[in-house]
Amino acid sequence: MGLDDSWFTEVDDDIKTAWSAKIRAKVYDRQTPYQHIEVFETEGLGYLMVIDGFTMVSTLENFLYHEMMAHPVLFTHQAPRQVAIIGGGDCGTLREVMRHPGVEHCVQIDIDEGVTEAARRFFPELCEANDDPRAELLFQDGIQWMKDAAPESLDVIIVDSTDPIGPGEVLFTPTFYRACHRALRPGGLIVQQSESPLAHMHILQRVRRGYREAGFDAVETLFFPQPIYPTGWWSATLGGKGQNPREFRETDARNKPFATRYYNADIHRGALAQPEFFREAMEKAEPA
């Protein structure tokens, strides 16, 4: 907490900035075996979930992140049927995946059931697809699950992870990416949230290098707004196993049989555009 007890404040030590939200009350506080989960009722964002002091999701703007983690990768794959989500305990990304009628099965693996319990209570709209017969929720180590996954058993892997701190560190390594590459069928795709291009360029470079070291032959980064995260500008990085992430099923995206609040084909196309500073940084990190 910062300013006074009527504000929640998260400080970003990387670029020495802070983000605050005015709160009415703390409505949930639980220490699980894995992390500290808090939920605040705020003046302007609705509910706000915070894990270990870091903002995770709010009622007002969560659709931006969840739609961009799910729909670009699913419309890039030619026929996504088998999907795995690593992390994603608030279930918002799962909800977006389940909007795609061609998906036959989506398994979500999050180590901490406490996150999902809090989401069911305070963000029930994010959990609307939890009972879909095509959805499976597992509460176990997603890293180990991926290591044990059958070779070429998945079409899409969505890594809806926390920051690369503590247990989440392993999710940003070539070792983990190699397990993902092994589990994907030819033409498969991985997408991972890859932090802010303004504050965390070193993490973006690390993700992209790690993908290539793991065998992904094409890598692209998408950009989108994320108001409650550091700098308000976020990214997701895709890796293709014989599939170019710049080529997506644009006609299908334009004619999608479900409603979205942010994502559409034009947003998808625009999110692939690279700012000059990003292009220059990637050229230095990934020499041809």
CB 243 within 8 A of CB 218: yes
- For 190, the 3-state DSSP assignment is strand
Please, which residues have CB within 8 angstroms of residue 140's CB and are 6 or more apart in sequence?
109, 111
What is the token pair recorded at 65?
């992140």
Whole-angstrom Cα distance, residue 130 to residue 124?
10
CB 80 within 8 A of CB 71: no
- For 55, the 3-state DSSP assignment is strand
Phi, psi (degrees; rounded to nearest 5) at 198 = -85, -40
Burial class (CB in 10 A: 0-12, 13-18, 19+), 3: exposed
Q: Which of 155, 160, 217, 266 is catalytic?
A: 160
110 in active site: no
Query: Known catalytic residues?
Result: 160
